[in-house]
Amino acid sequence: MKLVVIAGPPSAGKTALVKQIVRHFQAKLKIAFLKIDVVKAFEDLELRKEFNILTKKVYSGDLCPDHAGVMVLGDALEWAENNQAELFILESAGLCLRCSPYLNQGLGIIVLSSISGIHAPEKMGAMVSLADIAVVTKIDLVSQAEREVLIQKIHEVHPEIVLMETNALQGTSLQRLYDLIAKSPEITPENLVLKGNPPLGTCTICVGKKEIGWKHHFGVVKKLEGQIADYLYRGE
């Protein structure tokens, strides 16, 4: 089974890109799709209706969506393999930008809109710097010069990234992406690990305490001013 992990901020065009990938591969490979979101997602229903492929979604709810992804991915891969899927597409929620959902195998794709702002590539941290491929969408809305400026910014964050530009609604110029997916090796699920480092520990906020002020909290916490290290694991 091949694995494609798609990340990017909300409304960047992730689902439009997924649809183009599915449209291209549906006759060649059996496809399974998993969407991870926090509150609401419709991508699974849309894709099942339009292409009749295997789909699932999971709401992370109180959990961070990348954390939820790590937890459910094992089961999801098993589900896909049991259904003889040959291409597994994971679409992440793409929210807090602290982490990235990419794994040590398969392809990690960051989807970025041309109009998302010139500093977006730097702000998005690991989601850009650990991706294999960047797909810049909505290119029909900006000038060529501005697209080249954005591409330059992405290259400055990640010099080796494979970059492509598309109007994802029409699926223009994606042949190179399809070739990379077709050539990507089969994964071995027992050896899958996250590419990036997850955040440190857990704090009292994460476990649900609502009280304000230092005396109520411990764990990895940070003051408005000063060093984080002073407060590491204070509670222990």
Q: What residue ranges bind other proteins (CB under 8 A)?
A: 114-115, 117-119, 140-146, 148-153, 155, 163-165, 170-176
CB of 136 to other proteins, least distance (A): 11
CA pair distance 50, 222, nearest whole angstrom: 47
Residue 135 near residue 147, CB atoms below 8 Å: no
Residue 171 or 219: the one with the smaller Cβ distance to other proteins is 171
Looking at residue 68, what DSSP letter applies?
A: H
Residue 85 near residue 26, CB atoms below 8 Å: no
CA pair distance 67, 76, nearest whole angstrom: 14
Closest CA to 4 of 226, 228, 236, 180: 180
CB of 88 to other proteins, least distance (A): 24
Residue 159 or 208: the one with the smaller Cβ distance to other proteins is 159
CB of 230 to other proteins, least distance (A): 36
Angle at which helix 14-25 crosses helix 43-51, to 10 degrees, equals 30
CB of 105 to other proteins, least distance (A): 24
Residue 43 or 165: the one with the smaller Cβ distance to other proteins is 165
Residue 52 or 173: the one with the smaller Cβ distance to other proteins is 173
